[in-house]
């Protein structure tokens, strides 16, 4: 048995109960679907400050998120649920993505530095 490097997201078809109203079906679909950050964030501001510590530069970033006003009917989500999710996982995910990007850029820089001085003979 082999596994895929990038497994696909599984999908499921659910039959609708005969007694379910359209409002109940709509509410279930909204609750079961994924709400992305771009659907709740109106504006993002990032401020960078550079601090000199022990002879080295340290970059500090402040990220301010302005959320859209609560529209519970559209997404069927409470503001407390959005804030809880952003508070618990946003910082961790952002840190992980920044570290991955810095690692990629460091590898790119190392490969460019290793090519310097190697002349191309035609």
pLDDT by residue for the chain (122 residues), tens only, comes to 567 777 777 777 888 888 999 988 888 888 888 888 888 888 999 999 998 888 888 888 898 989 888 766 677 788 888 888 888 888 888 889 989 998 998 888 888 777 666 666 55
What pLDDT does residue 96 have? 92
Q: Give the CA angle between residues 47, 94, 56 to the nearest 5°.
A: 55
The per-residue DSSP string of 84-104 comes to: HHIIIIIHHHHHHHHHHHHHH
* Contact indicator for 86, 77 with CB cutoff of 8 Å: no
List, in sequence order, every residue forming a beta bridge with 51; answer none if it has no partner: 58
Full-model pTM: 0.55
d(CA 111, CA 102): 14
């Amino acid at each position: 048995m082999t596994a895929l490097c990038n497994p696909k997201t599984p999908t499921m078809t659910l039959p609708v109960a005969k007694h379910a109203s359209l409002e109940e079906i709509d509410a279930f679909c909204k609750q079961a679907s994924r709400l992305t950050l771009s659907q709740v964030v109106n504006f993002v501001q990032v401020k960078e400050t550079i601090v000199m510590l022990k002879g080295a530069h340290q970059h500090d970033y402040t990220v301010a998120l302005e959320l859209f006003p609560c529209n519970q009917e559209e997404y069927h989500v409470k503001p407390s649920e959005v804030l809880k999710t952003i508070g618990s996982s946003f910082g961790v995910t952002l840190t992980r993505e920044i570290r991955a990007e810095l690692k990629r850029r460091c590898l790119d820089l190392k490969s460019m530095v290793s090519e310097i001085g190697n002349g191309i003979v035609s």
